[in-house]
Each structure stands twice: as structure tokens, then as C-alpha cells.
Structure 1
Amino acid sequence: MADKITTHHRFLKKAEKDLVRMFKDGDFEAFRENYHHFIKMAPPETSLEEMFYEAMDALGEHDDVVDYSLMQLNKGSGDYETHMIELLKALSRQERYYEVINFSDHLMEEKLPQGFRIEIAAIRHQAKKAIDELQYRRSGDVDDAERSSQEDINLDEMSHQEILRMFSTFADEKDIRYKDFVLEQLENISDKDIVTFMLLYLKEIGYNKKVRHHKFDEPVEVVPADLPSLEEITLMKDVEPEVIDELESRAPQIVSEAALLMTSHAIFSYPKEPDFEAEELVEGYLQYILDLLNMNHPYTAGSDVYQWIDEMERLVTTSET
């Protein structure tokens, strides 16, 4: 009888709500204790597992994260990518960098989804960087470590996605040490998505001198500090929200793919704005996406808008990976 009571649907829902409340209140110790009780009664939703990982990170209990993620991976339970990423992050926080690299190298030999591969490459890069810096710090030569961390970057030996994620990480970290390296490489790289993150990095560190990039047919000079963020350009700020709002009622099954499509287009075109009004682009993307699904719809974009979207998608899908 006790088992039937504790596993009753309403009881589980109440326990789940209590966990969410503890997490939002920042009571991570109570969350941890109750979470371990909860998972003995029912498998947790992915959102609840993500809260667990965040709570354990806040408590600094990386051993628990390693044990839990390995247990879930061995059981084949929950979201594989989430557990693997959290395992690698926990190992990194424990400074078990060689294990991170070994795990990552084995994973990269498999056929992985693009986004997952990018995340793995970023964690591996940080582990390698941490090893280099630890070695040089022990030798007492930090300046040489900084120079070496850049000299060790051999773009010829890196895949397109590894390079892309590296420059994206530079932009996130706003580490000024990579300024000269990025400025030097900007003259040599024409890959539209990679150039975007190089410009965003220079913007994030406030670089206020003119730089030249070769993203479009002709070399273009810009001042990175004056550029908008990716979220501020028309396609992301004004177009994507309108398109997604409409698709949620017409074709909810395609919403995540549509958001990825528009984000990819924004990355490839940045910082150049399309030569169309936001309303024209909204109409164009709705027609383009719903045409792909062979769905009836009332949208009719101008041919030039439709062609621009189609050309952007061709660029994205034929880009080296």
C-alpha cells in the first residue's frame, strides 16, 4: 500500500513541484536530498535533471555529478547529450583535463549531431588550454604560456566546426590575449560564419579601430566596437520572433528547425543587413518554410526576398563542416 501511495501520479507531481520551488529558492542542499529520493520513485524529466546539474555545480559537488552522469549513461536513461556534456564539464572543474580530452577524442570519432560536436570541441579546447597554462605556470613563465597558447593553435589541423567554436568561445570569454591572433587571422579567413564570431570577439573586447574582412565579394572595413550584437540585427530582433509566433500555431513541429535556419542565416550575413524591410522578410520566411512542408498558406513574398532566403540557405548547407 505504501508503494502505491508514494508513486501515485499526484504525489509525484507534488514532489516535482517542491523540487522546482527549492531550486528557484536557491535551496540547493534540500533540492539535492529530495532529488535523490524522487528518482527512486520515477525517472526525472530532462528539465529536472538540468536543475540537478545546476544545483550540484552551485554546491561544487562535482563528484556527485560525475557519478550521476555516468550512472545515467550506463543505464541509457534520459538525454545522452546532456549527461555527456555535464560529465565533461564536471571532470574539467575537477581539473581532470586528460580524461576530458580522452573522452572527447573518442566521442569525436563517432557520427554526432552538429551542435553536440561543437559543444564537445569547445570543452576539449578549454581542457587543452588549461593543461598548457598549468604546465607553463609551474615553470614560472606565464608570458610564454600566453604566447604558446596562441602559437599552438594550428588552424590547418582543425575542422571547420572546431575553428568556429573556438572563435565563438573567444567571444564569450572576452579574453583580450587573443586580440592579435584574431586580427592576424581575420585577413586570411573568408568563411562567413567564422568571420562573424571573429568580429563579435573584437566587438566584445571593445576594439575600436578599423579592420578589414573578406566575408563578401569585396573587402569591407568596419569598426568592431560600433557593430551591433547578433541579437540586435533585424533578422534576430524583428523577424525571427514574428515568424516563430506564427509557426507555433500553423506548424509547431517545425519551430525549432525554423529558429535554427534563421539563426544560421543571421550568422552568415552579419554584420550586413538584408536590403529588405522586416515585414518583407517575415512574409518571405513564412512562405519559404511552409513551402518546404508542402503546406497551404496565404504568404506570398517578393521574388527577390525569396531568392535571398534561398541563397542564404544554400550558403549555409554547402558550408564546410
Structure 2
Amino acid sequence: MDDKVISHRRFLGKMERDMEADRQNDDHAAFVDKFRRYEALLEPDISLIEKFYRALSAIGQHDEIIDYALLQMNAGRGHYDVHMRHLLEGLLSQERYFEVVEFSDHLMKEEIPHDFRIEVAALRHRAKKAIDEKKEAPMSEMPEVDADSYNDMQSYERMDFLKRIIEEADDRYRELIRNAAAGEDNPELLTFMLLYLRTAGDGNVLAVHKMGERIEVVPRELHDLEEGPFRSISARVMDEVEDRIPQFAESAAAMLMSHMLYCYPVEPPFGTEDMVTAYLEEILGMVNIEYEVAAKPQAVSWIRSLEQSIAGE
């Protein structure tokens, strides 16, 4: 055996031992740092990935748990149940209870292993109980949010705030969100800002940056997230995925929804037929199934570029 191969394996073995020592010493930050370097050299097995999830949870990095789980599922790297369980636990930790219930309801409609079904049901129960407790608690008025307190929020806190004021159709924050949207570089947050301004009936032109371009929109004239060409593309792709690979349907749905949230209100730069074919080629290819219709290379390249942008690569 080549000396370089032996040396490389020894190096990886030492990293594994060091990570295990960090884990036993509850040095979670050190474990996470070493795991990232290890993953750049070798695809980790699922047992090591589970330890990575637990270390992230211990240091409160729930955003990264969610992003990493979505990335693994979208890439079709297997162990869907493990990644989905940690995704749901990450959402629970951020008190994103409605999303846990929504994901769980979709999962319970699928043919999933019995043990995983029990875990999903338990996580859904925790989320539903938390929702019910919030409903039963005396309704407290949301504290007034100004520019400083909004800027001090974490990304997930801003997202929760935006979802709440959308749900309550609270137009008090129109000017705050307009000003913040003009400089917002987080695509998903910007999507919810625009949806809020649409709900608030904002009829003034707003310049924002999306998909690498400066665009001008009138929020109240924007279509809803559930409308538009992207939604029809998603529906047709999911019909095909559910027919061919139903076990991969949740992963495909999560991928398409993440793309829709990332792009809104910008639509794909290709026609519906080209995008449906490209998505099917890409998604089926994740599970080594060749799609019988040749996709336009530029459309496939656009999807892959979008995935890389979402993953932060």
C-alpha cells in the first residue's frame, strides 16, 4: 500500500480519536470545528454525523442543524430519517412549532419505517402541545419593535417576527420593514419582508436586491408565494416524483420550497417545460435514475447554482 495512503488514513484516524475525546470532554465547539475539517477530507458515516448534530445542538447552533439536514436530504445521501429527525428537533428548539407540525403531517402520509413514524409522532405531539399552551396562555401584546431591536434579532427571530406580523396583518411595521428590506441580503428573510409588505398593502415602489440583481417592486402587486410559474413547476415535478420515487417525495418538496423561498418574487429564467424537465433530471439523478427526456443544460446549471447559493458554497 502506498505510504501516502497509509499516512492519510492514520491522519484521519487521529482526527476521529480527537473528536471522540472532545465529545467525551463535552468540548462541543472543538468537535464541530474538527468535524468540518474531517468532512472536507472524507464523507463521514452517519454515526459521526449524528454526533455532529448533537454537538451543534449543545452549542445552540440550531440554524446550522436545519441547514445541514436540508443539504444532506437534498443531496440524496441517504439516512433520510436521521436527518429529518434532527431537522424537526432543530425547528422545535427554535419554537417553530407550526413548521414541525406541517413537516410531520406530510411525513405521516408517507410509507416510513415504524420506528421513525413513532419518533415523528412524538415530535409532532411536542409541537402541537406547545402551540396549544400558547393559545391557552393569556394573549400578551407583542412588544413594540423598533429598528434597533429588529437589528439585534437573530435571523430566526426576525423570521418569526415577520411571520407573526404577516399572520396578524399588523401594518404598524411597514416603514421599518421597507427600510430593512432595501439592504437585506438574506434571500429568505427578504421573501418574508416582501410578503409582509404585500399583506400590509404597500403600494410604493421598493428597490431590493434578489438573485444578484437590483429589482424594483410594488409589494401589493406581487403574487402570493403559492401562485406564479414557480408553483406550477413545483406541482408538476412533485406529481412525477410521487409517482416514481414516493420515498423521496419529502426531500424533493423541501428542495423545491427552499428554491421558491430563495427566489421570490423572481421567477426561473426558463420556461415551465424546460424547468420541469431540468428538475426531474436533477432529482431523479440523486437516486441514480436517468430521466428519459434530455434537459436543457443551462436550466440544470441554474438549479445547481441555486443549490450551491442556498448551501452557502
Determine the structure 1 residue equivalent to 2:135.
93
SS at 1:243's partner residue? Answer: helix
Confirm or deny that 1:83 pairs with 2:125: yes
How far the C-alpha of 1:297 sits from its partner, in A, is 2.7
Number of equivalent positions? 196
Secondary structure at the residue paired with 1:300? coil
* Cα distance per residue 1:4-39 (max 9 Å; x no partner): xxxxxxxxxxxxxxxxxxxxxxxxxxxxxxxxxxxx
Q: Structure 1 residues 224, 78: CA separation in 2 closer, same or farther (over 3 Å shift)?
A: closer
CA change 1:162–1:271 in 2 (3 A) is same
Distance verdict in 2 for CA 1:78–1:232, change over 3 Å: closer
Flag the 1:219–1:297 CA change in 2: closer, same or farther, 3 A: closer
What is the CA-CA distance between 1:233 and the residue it aligns to? 1.8
RMSD over equivalenced CA pairs, Å: 2.3
Contact 1:286 1:299 in 2 (8 A): no
| Percent of matched pairs sharing the same residue | 28
Which of 287, 292, 298 is 2:286 aligned to? 292
Structure 1 residues 266 and 77 mapped into 2: Cα distance closer, same or farther (>3 Å)? closer
Q: CA deviation at 1:153?
A: 6.6
- For residues 282 and 219 of structure 1, what CA distance do their matches in structure 2 show? 27
- Cα distance change, pair 220–263 in 1 and its aligned pair in 2 (3 A): same
1:177 aligns with 2:177: no
Q: Which residue pairs with 1:231 in the alignment?
A: 226
Q: Is the 8 A contact 1:248 1:255 kept in 2?
A: yes
Matched position secondary structure for 1:212: strand
Q: Once superposed, which parts of structure 1, at least 4 consecutive aligned residues long, lie more than 4 Å away?
A: none
Please give the alpha-carbon distance, in whole angstroms, between the structure 2 residues aligned to 1:227 and 1:265: 18
- 1:141-180 pair list within 5 angstroms: 149-151=144-146, 154-180=149-175
Deviation per CA, 1:97-121, whole angstroms, max 9, x where unpaired?
xxxxxxxxxxxxxxxxxxxxxxxxx
Give the 5 Å matches for 1:1-321: 79-95=121-137, 131=140, 133=141, 149-151=144-146, 154-236=149-231, 238-318=232-312
Structure 1 letter corresponding to 2:273: E
Q: Any conservation in 1 of the 2:188–2:261 contact (CA below 8 Å)? A: yes
CA distance in 2 between partners of 1:171 and 1:304 (Å): 36
Find the residue that maps to 2:207 and give its secondary structure.
Answer: strand
Higher gyration radius (CA)? 1
Give the distance between the partners of 2:191 and 2:292, measured in 1 at CA: 34
**Could you report, residue by residue, the CA deviation over 1:203-234 in whole angstroms, capped at 9, with x for unpaired residues?**
11211111121224343211001111111121
Aligned to 1:230, what secondary structure does the other structure show?
Answer: coil
Q: CA deviation at 1:274?
A: 1.3
Q: 1:77 to 1:216 in 2, by over 3 A?
A: closer
Q: Which residue of 2 aligns with 1:72?
A: none
Contact 1:200 1:224 in 2 (8 A): yes
Instruction: Assess if the C-alpha contact under 8 Å between 1:176 and 1:205 holds in 2.
Output: yes
One-letter amino acid of the structure 1 residue matched with residue 131 of structure 2: K
- State whether residues 283 and 300 of structure 1, in contact with CA within 8 Å, keep that contact through their aligned partners in structure 2: yes
- Structure 2's unaligned 5+ residue stretches are 1-117
Look up the SS of the partner of 1:219 in the other structure.
Answer: strand
Using structure 2 for the length normalisation, give the TM-score. 0.58
Q: Which runs of 5+ in 1 are unaligned?
A: 1-75, 97-129, 134-145
> What amino acid maps onto 2:122 in structure 1?
Y
Preserved contact between residue 211 and residue 266 of structure 2 (Cα < 8 Å): no
TM-score by length of 1: 0.56
Q: Is the 8 A contact 1:171 1:198 kept in 2?
A: no
Query: How many Å apart are 1:261 and its aligned residue?
Result: 0.7
What whole-Å deviation, never above 9, does each CA across 1:106-144 have from its counterpart, x for those lacking one?
A: xxxxxxxxxxxxxxxxxxxxxxxx54x3xxxxxxxxxxx
Q: Contact between 1:191 and 1:215, CA under 8 Å: does it hold in 2?
A: no
Deviation, structure 1 residue 78: 6.8
